[in-house]
Structure 1
Amino acid sequence: MTPFTQLQVFNAMHASPNARLELSAQLGDGMAAARWSNRDDARDYLAPSHHTLSCYIADGTGTFRRQRPADKGAPNKLCIMPAGLESNWIVNGAIRLAHLYISETQFALGCVRLLDREPRELQLREATFLDDPQQSVRFRQLVGLNWAEPAERLLASSLAHEIVDHALLSQVGQRHGLRLKGGLAPSARRQLAEYLEAHLDQPITLGELALRCNLSEYHFARMFRTSFGVPPHQYLLARRLHRACRLLRLGALPLGEVALMCGFASASHFSNRFRQALGATPGQYRAAVSG
């Protein structure tokens, strides 16, 4: 999980003498959230390395981007600030808002999982003061939870996933003028993803995957990362944890059985990996989502 000290938008807000951090939490899977209040301020976000989705919770009618003074914010308005984007904001009066920070890795995994596309082909489209009732409802549910309480933080993580998935499906467009070099052919990428999904419960080696593509392990690893946006081991772990979350939500299988069905050598190994990624044990996750 990316520490808050590496989240440029979070740090720019935190550096303001007028902004007040009400609540923040790491939500796992490369996502973090913060709830802010601010008044009579100016903030500049200089090409952050992460994506930021924001929703105005209250006030904000005097907030605008410096280059677009005629467009003002309002409660339930959404903003999408892609990684690499510079934006400059003026806050006149008061505002309360929520930020959801998303790593490039999580964006890459979503592109492959939801859109069946290479992450480098796609970009998150910038939006200022967007109206999206579904997203604003999810944000309000998110900020209504107590992120300091482990079970509610896990529910917040599920909501964050829904928000990110919705943004990927509705706000992602193709990069223009991009000439793709290297990487796997689309058919090979698709077949590889399907193979991995069908064999998550089995040991999978880099050599085995490279052989399927008739490549050396070195070249396969490079081409996989180019096409999937993450190294093979990181993609495989993310897919195994995704399956584990689904199994934990769906039923009462023993944790040891869930571990084996998701390719983990033991329940303890599964628990350690799960806690590292989501900040809670599989048992705590199951109790939170079923309660």
Structure 2
Amino acid sequence: MTPLTQLQVFNAMHASPHARLELSAHLGDGLAAALWSNRDDARDYQAPSHHTLSCYIADGTGTFRRQRPGDKGAPDKLCVMPAGHESNWVVNGAIRLAHLYVSEAQFALGCVRLLDREPRELQLQEATFLDDPQQAKRFRQLITLDWDEPGERLLASSLAHDIVDHALLNQVGLRQGLRLKGGLAPSLRRQMVDYIEAHLDQPITLGELAVRCNLSEYHFARMFRASFGLPPHQYLLARRLHRACQLLRLGVMPLGDIALSCGFASASHFSNRFRLAVGATPGEYRSAFCS
């Protein structure tokens, strides 16, 4: 998991003598959050490798982008800063704002799961000072949780996923002028999605998937990554963990049965993988959502 100080937007804020970090946490699944206070500052974000969603919690009426000085922020205003985009900000007076940092891998998974499109076809659209009461409410709920307490951090992670899903459904558009090369045909990509979902409880090998596409393992792996935005093993693990989270929230199945139904070799293997990805054990996850 990338350290917070290696996330460019976080690092740019942290380097400011005027900004104060109130809260920060990794939330699992390539998500991290921070709550900042700042005053009388200027910040430049140089083409970060991650996406940043932000919400103004208080003040911010003197904050603007350097290229648009007439457009000012306010409480509950939202900003979308996509990976690879540069933005320059001036803060006159005070501001308190929440940031949610989103990895490219998590964005790619959402494009496939929610939009049924190749991640490379799509881009998160830059936006400044959006009005979206539903998203602002989620951000405000997010910062009321204790991110240092394991159970509440898991609830924060769930809220963060809701924020990201909402942004994917409302702030994503097609890349202009893009000519795709390589990758799987759309019909094959959908077949892969359906096949993997239907066989999560079984061992799935790279060779098995490659044969279904009539490709060598080497070429299949390259084309899968081009179409899905991440390697086959990483996509498969993400889908297994997503299924496990769904089953854990139901609060019925024994952990060993969940492990087997999601394709993990044993309960201990499941627990280790789950903890590395989510930041908590399966039992702690279940307790957070079923209590």
TM-score by length of 1: 0.99
Match of 1:125 in 2: 125
Match of 1:230 in 2: 230
The answer to whether 1:219 aligns with 2:219 is yes
Q: Is the 8 A contact 2:39 2:95 kept in 1?
A: yes
Separation of aligned partners in 2, 1:53 and 1:266:
37
Letter in 2 for 1:229: G
Match of 1:276 in 2: 276
Match of 1:29 in 2: 29
Deviations 1:184-233 (A, max 9, x none): 00000001100000000000000000000000000000000000000000
| 3-state secondary structure, aligned to 1:79 | strand
Q: Is the 8 A contact 2:200 2:262 kept in 1?
A: yes
Separation of aligned partners in 2, 1:42 and 1:175:
30
Separation of aligned partners in 1, 2:6 and 2:252:
38
Match of 1:93 in 2: 93
Separation of aligned partners in 1, 2:23 and 2:48:
21
Q: Is the 8 A contact 1:2 1:103 kept in 2?
A: no
| 3-state secondary structure, aligned to 2:101 | strand
| 3-state secondary structure, aligned to 2:71 | coil
The answer to whether 1:137 aligns with 2:153 is no
Separation of aligned partners in 2, 1:223 and 1:59:
47
C-alpha deviation, 1:5, in angstroms: 2.3
Separation of aligned partners in 1, 2:39 and 2:283:
42
Match of 1:73 in 2: 73
* Deviant stretches of 4+, over 2 Å: none
Separation of aligned partners in 2, 1:100 and 1:259:
30
| 3-state secondary structure, aligned to 2:177 | coil
Match of 2:116 in 1: 116
Separation of aligned partners in 2, 1:112 and 1:277:
19
Match of 1:9 in 2: 9
Separation of aligned partners in 2, 1:213 and 1:42:
51
Letter in 2 for 1:111: C
List runs of 5+ in structure 2 lacking aligned partners.
none
Deviations 1:112-156 (A, max 9, x none): 000000000000000000000110000000001010111000000
Match of 2:248 in 1: 248
Letter in 2 for 1:133: P
Pairwise CA RMSD of aligned residues?
0.5
How many aligned positions are there? 291
| 3-state secondary structure, aligned to 2:54 | strand
| 3-state secondary structure, aligned to 2:74 | coil
Match of 1:175 in 2: 175
Deviations 1:23-71 (A, max 9, x none): 1000000000000000000000000000000000000000000000000
List runs of 5+ in structure 1 lacking aligned partners.
none
Q: Is the 8 A contact 2:13 2:43 kept in 1?
A: yes
TM-score by length of 2: 0.99
C-alpha deviation, 1:251, in angstroms: 2.5
Letter in 2 for 1:160: A
